[in-house]
Chains A and B, each alone.
Chain A
């Protein structure tokens, strides 16, 4: 599968190492459809290709947004691109968050660090159809207040009466007067019905492991917990075996998994 050419419309700084790129297809008659949780393979010409989740609103089909953290060769090259530059896009790939399946339930979204980016499309969808869901809670943990993504949107969501937003930092800096502590400590501070709640988690694996344990302690069943897993990828379409995790391929069967279906392989030292 060959990458499709896209233009960078805007590159916006989120934090010192994280940025959001907004892309438009070079053929402007094309629209881009995706489901919340899916990712694209972004190809920086002459440098390489990386899987990055789609972080925009699924209802806006004329542009695609990705939020990436500059950690290495490709993501750093991506960060240096300017509006008007070209990029190759393959996708969308992978499974999606259970937005439809959550109708009529409480929804607890738990994000750590850049893990908020693949969950942002879920929030857009839940808000657009707010009446279909019961309680909606967003629990978000980051390292310091400077690492918060989407600050303006967080403020807007916090201002709503129909979503509970709780944010915590590992280390308080500056004049931070919010919560301090790990994201798992927020779980017991929101009231939800564990038997009728869907939990969606994205963040570093350690954070997800402890979050799952705490949700289980609160009575949430494994079949109601969904996680997004990251593994090194190459082909993105289930051919090369690069992303294999037990019998599953993260690119094709994931990245979003129902926890009871992946628990044997999740967080294991060697797979």
Chain B
């Protein structure tokens, strides 16, 4: 089986990571595929993975009894799905569902949490990268909520 290390090393999210850290990540990584409509993660369930999307499209959804599933955001190739594995209580806050056939690299967050506790440099590097992703998502969400296209007298 081909190692995922070269792919991970090239990915913008992990660029610049030390080779020994990449090796650890590759050891926790596996290829996964989701069919259209298949849930990748579900609100309330234990968050033990994160995903680097290689191909396809994923809808991040919130379920409301009166309205059904509300898509909050879609993410696609090259993007990162899931950070709840890093933040206690390690539970998904939203659902994520493939809306196209989606191929991704799944990283075992449970295994990575242990590795990060043992090697704080790895932990810090991953935290920095996730903080960046979270900040970008927060900025996008703020913009999304500010109704910039509305008419404001």
Query: Known interface pairs A143-B150, A204-B148. Does A210 touch B143 (Cβ–Cβ under 8 Å)?
Result: yes
- B36–chain A nearest beta-carbon distance, Å: 10
Residue among B57, B76, B139, B144 with the most chain A CB within 10 A?
B144
Interface stretch, picked from A27-35, A51-59, A181-189, A254-262, is A181-189
Task: Report A195-235 residues with CB < 8 Å from chain B CB.
Answer: 203-204, 206-207, 210
The verdict on B59 contacting chain A, using a C-beta distance below 8 Å, is yes
Which of B73, B74, B143 is in CB contact (< 8 Å) with A184? B143
Judging by beta carbons under 8 Å apart, are B59 and A180 in contact?
Answer: yes
Can you name the residue of chain B whose Cβ is closest to the Cβ of A184?
B140
Is A69 located at the chain interface by the 8 A CB criterion? yes
Chain A residues positioned under 8 Å from B143 (CB to CB): 182, 184, 206-207, 210
Smallest distance from the beta carbon of B102 to chain A beta carbons, Å?
14
- List of B residues within 8 angstroms of A94 by Cβ: none
Q: Is the CB of B148 within 8 A of A69?
A: no
Nearest-neighbour CB distance to chain A for B139, whole angstroms, equals: 8
- Alpha-carbon distance A203/B146, docked complex (angstroms): 14
Judging by beta carbons under 8 Å apart, are A142 and B72 in contact?
no
Q: Are A112 and B148 in contact (CB under 8 A)?
A: yes
Contact of B71 among A172, A185, A189, A210 (CB under 8 A): A172
Say whether, besides A181-B73, A189-B77, A143 and B140 are in contact (CB < 8 Å): no
A162 surroundings in chain B (CB, below 8 A): none
By a CB distance below 8 angstroms, the chain A residues around B72 are 180
Residue A164 interfacial (CB < 8 Å)? no
A71 at the interface (CB under 8 A from B): yes
Count A interface residues, CB 8 Å: 29
A143 to B72, CA, bound (A): 13
A109-124, CB < 8 A from B: 112-114
Asked if A170 meets B144 with Cβ closer than 8 Å, knowing A71-B151, A180-B59, the reply is: yes
Contact of B151 among A69, A176, A182 (CB under 8 A): A69
Q: Which residues of A contact B75 (CB under 8 A)?
A: 181
B31: min CB distance to chain A, Å: 21
Do the beta carbons of B74 and A206 come within 8 Å of each other? no
Q: Give CA–CA (A168, B147) in the complex, Å.
A: 14
Return chain B residues, CB-CB under 8 Å to A193.
none
Q: How far is the CB of A169 from chain B (nearest CB, A)?
A: 9
CB distance B71 to A207 under 8 Å? no
Across the interface, name the chain A residue whose C-beta is closest to B100: A177
Residues of B within 8 A of A176 (CB): 71
Chain A neighbourhood of B126, CB < 8 A: none
Asked whether B70 is an interface residue with its Cβ less than 8 Å from the other chain, the reply is: yes
Q: Does A147 contact B (CB under 8 A)?
A: yes
**Can you name 20 A-B pairs with beta carbons within 8 Å?**
A69-B151, A112-B149, A147-B149, A168-B74, A172-B70, A176-B71, A178-B74, A179-B76, A180-B59, A180-B71, A180-B72, A181-B73, A181-B75, A181-B140, A181-B144, A182-B144, A188-B78, A189-B77, A206-B148, A210-B143
Given A180-B59, A189-B77, 14 more pairs with CB closer than 8 A: A114-B149, A170-B144, A179-B76, A180-B71, A181-B73, A181-B75, A181-B144, A182-B144, A185-B73, A203-B148, A204-B149, A206-B143, A207-B143, A207-B149
9 shortest interchain CB distances as A-B pairs? A113-B149, A143-B149, A172-B71, A204-B148, A179-B74, A181-B73, A180-B71, A182-B143, A206-B148
